[in-house]
A and B are shown apart, each in its own frame.
Chain A
């Protein structure tokens, strides 16, 4: 709970939206043009006040580094952030994110990317001592945990600086504009990725803020969201208990933190994630066999605060693949299709047919049904 009363900073913007995503299980790459084209076909679902993309596999020659995409409101924020990054990370490469001006984009913030690893001393185990001879894990047990905490710190503490993505071999490109314009601005045609997820935004009131565009991320997780979370108040307070801070002025970012918490930190298998985010109704759980009943009853009891209530369709990109999920009564549209090893998910079938005219299979997932694909080979 913020001690400072600043409702303007706290304000968030629910929105209606369009989503589009595609992923190749064989890690065949596509240019960013495809996902842009799909979203552009659903132009009516946005109002030009936000669009964004996440690409996985875009930095193959720098895939072992965390790629931090930063958005700065002004150069002073950049200097402060770079001092901060230098004191916590070894920076292997950094550059402005290439952009191309176009008529639809006005007064963009400054975008930089950094390829980094945590400084070794920050995460190495503490040596043993007289009282505990075993070497103790440091407070932040892994590089991931370290990066998560630094991202949270920058986003909640440094005015005018936001880390908009922080995974490996992936990155987020987002801003205020229609999907086509944002795609052109970030020159997405020049990137090749095996998974793209994209979003077109229709905010119901507008601060015209670039950070408010989707996707929202934490480490390798990126989320695009069409919906409004009526349980946001408790979802946020729940993840904040575990060190996350909501700083992006929209309800959607909490989904990225919930997934990161459940899947990476609590190690909940992907197959059971829908039982938390879009839980079955009790009346259906009660009808299951004993083992299944115990399983789902317990999951709801333990993780009830992570249930996402209200209408939503989300697509989540993560380290091992991608999935789509809608709310427990399916109040927002979501269509899926397959063509060979590629999974497509979009708000409308037209968005899929625009880039894949003859899919092998098109279907309308049920409420709370997991639509998932994972990469075939062992993780690189």
Chain B
């Protein structure tokens, strides 16, 4: 007896199929076998479309299994299937990628402004449109001296990081993603003049040459951390939590830890890499301050970023982080992706990134310290419109993870934790990893970000704004459509129809 029926149905058009076997070769999950003809095993199908993309005859269709339960809006098929699985195994159910539940998406309820008559729009094809952004800590005020009629800065130049556009690559650990995917992010960050975060899996020695574009993570498992590592990048990120699983540590199943991952992470091959839930040297804000300054001492005072999941009290926590000496606060919303997380944490913990950015920015302003540090926002940035809206709400820059993976071929099948990614991204199987050509993937990443850059410039021009700093925190150019008044008040955004 089978209690659980497959999610998908694989339909092979036998008329069209020329029995070349490519589909079977390409499936990382073993859902298609080939003897004298293709035999589908829908139980194993992840819905990743690798077979469909490579079938030269377009002879494959993957569709949702039409088999249905009696309609029930309360007991959904998801609930029922989860119970079958847990009744069978007694375990925690794992998944990959971000929250897929139909919660209200605030970005989809925000609209942008444009100029008409009283204020000319600016043409980004013909005039400068500036996206350059500096990340890090700024002084309270500047002092100047004058010599021979020329003004000069008194005191040191702020220790900030320059990026050519406010789109960064979010931390995805080496281990959760393949070497080729990781290398592609390094190469794209360099080409775009932006930066990437490593995630908690360390940095392979062969990629140290990209250090000028990398912020290195120090997480609760301390995987891959030593003095040389810390000094390879342009900054260090302390990971307290991630949006997909606030309050728990990273999970990398042993299947994804072959020798090169084991070497970089400095742990035995094939062991599950389960990071502790908290950082065991940080039980309080003053402990965090000590780690921030320990890392600054260890790196000759490179900027330190602290990454937290967007939780209910995020505003006060972010304020404490900035006061503890961090240069950047990295906020990860509840829709953020992951390589592996329990369903319960992924789907039910945290708050939306839009709200987190709004309340953190506002809180730091009320405390008079917003101008001293930097806010980076992440957790489901799906388009250039999302970037613009998050910056208008108050973020200095955004980081993209899932969007970057999709650019490299990811189809959001949510099976990252199995290590069988047919696209060579979230896997360590050599036969699958080699499918992802880093040059091809880099080009696609660069294309994606350049495309968004053009779109951001277009809407900034429409708003009559030619520098990104005039958009940052400028909620006057946002209006909410279909959001309740309390949410609007918290976002600091007026409803559509409200005048200037």
Contacts and interface: CB of A to CB of B under 8 A. Distances in A.
Interface string B110-154: 000001011110100001101010100011011010100011110
A301 interface: yes
A232 B158 CA distance: 26
A307 interface: yes
B300 interface: no
Interface residues of B, number: 52
B151 A232 contact: no
Nearest to B495: A7
B152 A291 contact: yes
A328 to B, nearest CB: 7
Interface residues of A, number: 57
Interface in B76-126: 115, 117-120, 122
Contacts of A204: 117-118
Interface stretch (B9-17, B54-62, B464-472): B464-472
Contacts of A294: 153, 157
A302 B142 contact: yes
Contact of B474 (A16, A234, A301): A234
B474 A5 contact: no
A99 B464 CA distance: 41
Nearest to A262: B141
A12 interface: yes
A11 interface: yes
A292 interface: yes
Interface string B199-233: 00000000000000000000000000000000000
A309 B118 contact: no
Contacts of A11: 499-500
A7 B463 contact: no
B119 A228 contact: yes
A302 B500 contact: no
Contacts of A363: none
B50 interface: no
Contacts of B467: 279, 304, 307, 309
A283 B465 contact: no
A230 B500 contact: no
B134 A5 contact: no
A241 B151 contact: no
Contacts of B122: 329
Interface in A76-109: none
Interface stretch (B63-71, B241-249, B365-373, B403-411): B365-373
B473 A309 contact: no
Interface in A272-310: 272, 279, 281-283, 291-292, 294-295, 297-305, 307, 309-310
B141 A305 contact: no
B485 interface: yes
A351 B467 CA distance: 33
Contacts of B485: 5
B142 A309 contact: no
A230 B119 contact: yes
Interface stretch (A59-67, A112-120, A190-198, A263-271): A263-271
Contacts of A228: 118-119, 464
Contacts of B368: 241-242
A301 B498 contact: no
A43 interface: no
A266 B142 CA distance: 8
B476 interface: yes
Contacts of B471: 231, 234
A310 B157 contact: no
Contact of B365 (A231, A237, A269, A281): A237
A272 B144 contact: yes
Contact of A283 (B128, B138, B489): B128
Contacts of A10: 494, 498
B476 A232 contact: yes
Given A241-B370, A298-B142, A307-B467, A292 B476 contact: no
Given A267-B141, A305-B473, A309-B466, 4 more contacts: A234-B474, A234-B476, A291-B150, A328-B466
Nearest 10 CB-CB pairings of A with B: A233-B476, A304-B469, A231-B470, A309-B470, A233-B474, A230-B464, A228-B119, A234-B474, A7-B498, A234-B473
Interface of B: 115, 117-120, 122, 127-128, 130, 132, 134, 138-139, 141-142, 144, 146, 150-153, 157-158, 160, 362, 365, 368, 370-371, 392, 463-467, 469-477, 485, 488-489, 492, 494, 498-500
